[in-house]
Chain A
Amino acid sequence: MAFASDKEHMRKKERIMLNEQFITLGIESSCDETSIAVVADGRKILSNVISSQIAIHTKFGGVVPEIASRHHLQNINAVLQQSLDEAGVTLSDVDLIGVTNGPGLIGAVVIGVATAKALSLASGIPLVGVNHMHGHVSANYLQYEDLKPPFLALIVSGGHTNIVDVTDYNTCRVLGSTRDDAAGEAYDKVARVIGLGYPGGPKVDKAAKEGNPDAVQFKRVYLEKGSYDFSFSGLKTQVINYVHTEKMRGHELSVPDISASFQQAVVDVIVDEAVSAAEERREEKLVMAGGVAANSKLREEMQKACDAHGIRLYRPEPVLCTDNGAMIASAAYYKYRKNGADGLDLDAYANLPL
């Protein structure tokens, strides 16, 4: 771990004090990344340290909650130190502590919240609990300095597929959601069935690059007109049945072709729904958020469709789409400005509505 030299440290500290920036520490531990970031004025990333557990969970074929919790505990203090060092600040420079307090794997969320609460009591820094999904939306404020609500957001992740009306920094009105599996969940299940394993999203995305998206005709599932809801479990079943039938016939499976065809079907539906929602509601801004927003195909097709319809698309860099502390710091900053601090009795929740 690199420590900033004293001189560099002093210089940065002076700069911060001169500019009177408001420093927020963002803590994220809701799934398989331990991440802590330092963000100035809710918008500027001074550091964003992410310690991923992907390598640890790969041998189990998916995230094992108990193991994730054990690793969060072991890593979080070093991640904190590294984050402060990289930002060139000390804890005493921090004005606010933001932490994901749901939704997520409860045993994992607990580690971030316990850390944030103890830091808050020991140092006297105010504390704010953040909805992880608000964090994902807020990643866009870090990427785009000029972005302000209201706007329409497409949130796609392992647990969510939502079209959301973001009316102000703290309010997300859900217009559409998945009626069964989230997009990311469908990716994980398909990845398992075709033998790609964990983590499903990036692995299918990668395999799809070598495959033909028209190789297998999977039916696109659209729900009734006027609804912005999604359904992905039918598509997942189609893939499972296809794999089964091909095996029965003794055919060799092409993992790249299945990946590409499945991915195309998912992306087609998401892009169509998101863009038509924006059209119908005359929204000029469409914002992407969540882990699946890092998917290369989805990013590419969303850009094409938005360009064709004269909609401005906002999409954070992939590193800001995956779970990270900076997005939590940004969301915390805006929540604190509106509602003030939370008490030391802040709790963690596996489920937390948007």
Chain B
Amino acid sequence: MYILAIDTTGPLGSAALLDLETEKTVMKISAEEKGHLKNLMPLVQSLLEQEHAAPADIAAVAASVGPGSYTGIRIGVTSARAFAQALNIPCIRVGTLDMFRQKAEDRDAAVIFNARRGQVYGAVYRKGGGAVMEPCPCMLEDVYNCVKENGLNPVWYGDGIDAYQGSEQFGKYLEGAECADKSERYQTAGMAVREALRLYRAGETCRVEELLPEYMRKTEAEQKLQDGSLERARAAKLARFRSR
């Protein structure tokens, strides 16, 4: 039996199968950026073929649930939910930042996913895997300060590096930082399936309806509704409309 894991939260989607008996993992990564919807199921299909396995051989489906690209998160989570529903098997919910704990076995690790305008989804792990900063939405500056205040010397991961390294406004926080090579920098289904195995062995599976995205932020519309700016914007628009 296998665990199937899916990650479509970053620029490149991937799928992985882990053989529960041998704990051997195979993974395929899409060659096309943002082609998650188109490419994900063909990736899973070719993994199954490669392993001479059938969907019925899958014991649980794991999804990397975010944070990350909203649409990407949804493609992975939705696919995992339907796959699990069709086979009547449990799901495993893997936090995408949590997956980087694995990288902190022998070195401190700082993770930053780009959320634009200096914002990131970040996490910091001390060597050995203890969380110094739990996964959260914050500013790049906050992650930088956390690293400095705790006297850490981390390797940096995540697509926040690509977004902010060399940036006029925010580049200073990454100056001199040791950034992971691109082949190691991003989240993958291979990382997800290893985290999923740990959760599976611990009995931490969930039902289809419990496999939910971790967006980490409210939608812009909800934020605006809450702070009253939706109402103000609507009134202003109506006034402009009428004054034409």
Contact = CB atoms under 8 A, between A and B. Distances in A.
Majority secondary structure of chain B interface residues (helix, strand, loop or mixed)? helix
Interface stretch (A171-179, A262-270, A344-352): A344-352
A127 to B, nearest CB: 9
14 contacts: A64-B219, A64-B221, A73-B78, A73-B81, A74-B209, A114-B82, A116-B82, A119-B86, A123-B87, A193-B241, A247-B242, A344-B41, A345-B39, A345-B41
A345 B42 contact: yes
B213 A78 contact: no
Interface string A244-261: 100100000000000000
Nearest to B224: A60
Give chain A's interface residue range (CB within 8 Å of chain B).
Answer: 35 or more
Given A73-B213, A110-B71, A347-B38, A121 B44 contact: yes
A122 B242 contact: no
B37 interface: yes
B74 A344 contact: no
B83 interface: yes
B225 interface: yes
A124 B98 CA distance: 33
Contact of A60 (B70, B215, B221): B221
Interface in B201-233: 208-209, 212-213, 215, 219-222, 225, 230
Give chain B's interface residue range (CB within 8 Å of chain A).
Answer: 35 or more
A347 to B, nearest CB: 4
Contact of B80 (A78, A118, A123): A118
Nearest to B221: A64
Contacts, number: 121
B78 A118 contact: yes
B41 A123 contact: no
B38 to A, nearest CB: 4
A77 B71 CA distance: 18
Interface string A43-84: 000000000000000011100101101100110111011000
Contacts of B244: 240, 244
Contacts of A114: 37, 40, 74-75, 78-79, 82
Given A77-B209, A240-B244, 13 more contacts: A60-B225, A64-B219, A64-B221, A67-B222, A70-B215, A91-B86, A115-B78, A116-B82, A118-B78, A118-B81, A119-B82, A122-B87, A344-B41
A118 B221 contact: no
B49 to A, nearest CB: 11
B234 interface: yes
Contacts of A123: 55, 86-87
Interface in A94-142: 106-107, 110-111, 113-124
B74 A118 contact: no
B41 A66 contact: no
A107 B85 CA distance: 22
Most buried by B among A70, A118, A247: A118
A111 B38 contact: no
B72 to A, nearest CB: 10
B109 interface: no
A120 B215 CA distance: 27
A156 interface: no
A117 B221 contact: no
A110 B74 CA distance: 8
A243 interface: yes
A60 B222 CA distance: 8
Contacts of A61: 230, 234
A73 B77 contact: yes
A25 to B, nearest CB: 11
Contacts of B81: 73, 76-77, 115, 118
Given A70-B219, A80-B85, A117 B41 contact: yes
A134 to B, nearest CB: 20
Contacts of B222: 67
Contacts of B234: 61
Contacts of B219: 64, 66-67, 70
Contact of A66 (B45, B87, B221): B221
Given A240-B241, A244-B242, A66 B220 contact: yes
A192 B213 CA distance: 33
A349 B86 CA distance: 25
Contact of B83 (A78, A121, A244): A121
A107 B36 CA distance: 12
Given A77-B82, A118-B78, A347 B37 contact: yes
Contacts of A124: 55
